[in-house]
Structure 1
Amino acid sequence: MIHEVDEALRRLLGGSGLTASGVEVVFDAPTNDWAARRSAPTVCVFLYDIREDNSRRGSSAGEVYDADGFVVARRAPARWFELTYLVTAWAGRPQDEHRLLSQVLACLVSTDTLGPDLLTGSLAELGLIVGLDAGGTGLDAPAASDVWSALGGELRPSLGVRVRAPLAGVRQVAAPPVTEGLTVRSVPRSGPDGTEPARRLRYTEVSDPGPDGFGGPRERQPAPARRRRRGDRQP
C-alpha cells in the first residue's frame, strides 16, 4: 500500500506541471550526502512516519464477487494508516526553491483526496477514499525540526503532508457454489452390479434424485391446518 501512495503522489505532482518543466520528484531521504549529489531541480517527498488510525478499524468482513454475482472470496476489513511526508524543494537558488515549493503547495492544498485516476493496485481495487492533508502533520507525528536533526542536515523550508490510506485485509478464497446434488448408492459386497436404487440424503419425500440432484423439483406438501384459538370468530 505504501508504494501505491507514493505512486499516487508522484502522479499528482507530475500532473501539476513539474514533470513538464524538468523537475524530478523523488522519495529519497534528504541527507547531506544526497543533497551533495543532486544536480537538477528536485522535489523530495520523504516518508518519515507511519501510524495506524485505530478509530477506523472495522470488524466485519467483505465479500468479493465474480462477474456472475457469485462469492469467490472473503476479505477481512481494511485497516487505515496515516502516512506523513516531509516535502522539500531543491534548486540552485533559494528564490527558485521557494517558487518551486509554492507550486507544490498550490497543488497539494487544492487536493482533499487522491482520485481514482491516481490510484493503482490494491488502493484502486478497494475503491475507498484516500484522504490528503497538506500544510500540517498528525498530532503525534514528529516535528519537522526533529526530522532534520535525525537526518543530520540543516533545517529547510518544508511542507507536511499526511495521507490516510487503507491497507487491504487478508483475502480467503471461498468454496465454489454447490451445483450438484448428493446421493448415496449402496450395493451388497457379494454382487456390486450397481443395480441398487440410489438413496437421496435429507430429502426423503423424493424417491429418485433425478438428473438435477438437489436442485430438482420436489412435491410440495400442503400447509398444516391453522389451529383455532379461543376467541377466533366463526366464518
Structure 2
Amino acid sequence: MIHDLDESIRNLFERDVLNGSGVDLEFDAPTKEWVGQLNKPTIDIFLYDIREDLTRREVMFEDVRDEDGKVVDRRQPPRRFRFAYLVTAWTKRPEDEHRLLSSILACLVRNERLPPEILAGALADSERAIVTQVAMAIDDDRMYTNIWSALGGELKPAVNLVCIAPLDVSRVLPFGPPVTEEPRISVARPDTDDTETIRPRGRDEDDDRADDDTALPDETVRGGKEDEPGRVYRVHAMPRRER
C-alpha cells in the first residue's frame, strides 16, 4: 500500500507542481552521498515516519451484502495510518528552491484530500479518502532536527507532509445463512413425560383458539424460592395437534 501512496503523490506533483518543467522527483533519503550525485533540480519526498492514527480507528465489523441485500460476510474495517514525508527542493540557488517549495505548498493546501483521479493501485478502489496535513507541528520537535542529524546533512527548509491512508487488513468473519424457519419450543409438564412442540401462530390462530375446546389452560409459574421470589412466567399453551 505504501508504494501506491508514493505513486499517488508522484502523480499529484507531476500534475500540479512540475508541469513538465524537467525537475526530477525522488523518494530517496537526502543523505550527503545522495546530494552529491545530483546534477539537476530535484524534489525529494522522503518517508521518515509511519504511525497508526488511533483517533480514526473503527472497531465495528462491516456487513458485506450480496446483490439481494443479504449479509454474507463481516469484514474488519481498514486501519488508518499516518505517513509523514519530508519534502525538500534541491537546486543550485536558494531562490529556485524557494519557488519550488512555494509551488509544493500551494498544491498541498489546495488538496486537503488526494484527488481520486490521481490515486494509484489499491488506493484507487478505497472508499475512504486520503487526507493530507501540511506543515503541521511535529509531535516531538526534536524529531525534525534528529532526522537531519541521522542523515548526516545540514538543516534545510522543508515541507512536512502527512498523509492519512487506510490499510485493508483483509480480515473477514464468515456469516451464517439467514434464519428462514420459525422457532420451535418444546414444553414438558413436570407431572408427565409427554413433551409438546409449539410453533408461533398468527393472529387468526389466536382467534380460532378462543373457540377451541381442546385448548389447554394457561399456567403461571413463579421462579426462585419462597424467601427469594423470582420472575413470574405465563405459559400460553396450544391445543395438541395430530402428527
The normalised TM-score by structure 1 is 0.70
Uncovered stretches (5+) of structure 1, i.e. residues with no partner: 179-201, 203-219, 229-235
Distance change in 2, residues 1:33/1:19 (3 Å): farther
In structure 2, the partner of 1:83 is 83
Letter of the structure 2 residue corresponding to residue 148 of structure 1: W
1:142 Cα deviation from its structure 2 partner: 5.3
Taking the aligned partners of 2:142 and 2:78, their CA distance within structure 1 comes to: 26
- After the TM superposition, which of the residue ranges 116-125 and 3-12 deviates more from structure 2? 116-125
Taking the aligned partners of 1:107 and 1:98, their CA distance within structure 2 comes to: 14
1:157 Cα deviation from its structure 2 partner: 1.1
Deviations 1:30-76 (A, max 9, x none): 00111111112110000101111112211111234456656565321
Residues 1:223 and 2:205 aligned together: yes
Whether the aligned pair in 1 keeps the contact of 2:17 and 2:104 (CA below 8 Å) is no
In structure 2, the partner of 1:157 is 157
Deviations 1:174-225 (A, max 9, x none): 57979xxxxxxxxxxxxxxxxxxxxxxx9xxxxxxxxxxxxxxxxx995333
Taking the aligned partners of 1:226 and 1:115, their CA distance within structure 2 comes to: 65
Whether the aligned pair in 1 keeps the contact of 2:138 and 2:144 (CA below 8 Å) is no
- The within-5 A match list for 1:1-235 is 1-65=1-65, 73-140=73-140, 143-172=143-172, 174=174, 223-225=205-207
The normalised TM-score by structure 2 is 0.68
Letter of the structure 2 residue corresponding to residue 124 of structure 1: A
Whether the aligned pair in 2 keeps the contact of 1:109 and 1:135 (CA below 8 Å) is no
Percent identity reads 44
Letter of the structure 1 residue corresponding to residue 24 of structure 2: E
1:144 Cα deviation from its structure 2 partner: 2.2
Taking the aligned partners of 2:128 and 2:104, their CA distance within structure 1 comes to: 25
1:129 Cα deviation from its structure 2 partner: 1.7
- After the TM superposition, which of the residue ranges 88-97 and 132-141 deviates more from structure 2? 132-141
Whether the aligned pair in 1 keeps the contact of 2:74 and 2:175 (CA below 8 Å) is no
Distance change in 2, residues 1:151/1:226 (3 Å): farther
Deviations 1:129-183 (A, max 9, x none): 21111112442475322110111111111111111111113243757979xxxxx
Taking the aligned partners of 2:50 and 2:131, their CA distance within structure 1 comes to: 15
Whether the aligned pair in 1 keeps the contact of 2:131 and 2:164 (CA below 8 Å) is yes
Letter of the structure 1 residue corresponding to residue 29 of structure 2: A
Distance change in 2, residues 1:129/1:61 (3 Å): same
Letter of the structure 2 residue corresponding to residue 223 of structure 1: E
Whether the aligned pair in 1 keeps the contact of 2:83 and 2:162 (CA below 8 Å) is yes
Whether the aligned pair in 2 keeps the contact of 1:24 and 1:43 (CA below 8 Å) is yes
1:7 Cα deviation from its structure 2 partner: 1.4
Letter of the structure 1 residue corresponding to residue 109 of structure 2: V
Distance change in 2, residues 1:53/1:138 (3 Å): farther
- In the alignment of these two chains, the number of paired residues is 193
Distance change in 2, residues 1:120/1:74 (3 Å): farther
Whether the aligned pair in 2 keeps the contact of 1:78 and 1:168 (CA below 8 Å) is yes
Choose between structure 1 and 2: higher strand proportion: 2
Q: Which has the larger radius of gyration?
A: 2
Letter of the structure 2 residue corresponding to residue 225 of structure 1: D
Taking the aligned partners of 1:83 and 1:145, their CA distance within structure 2 comes to: 18
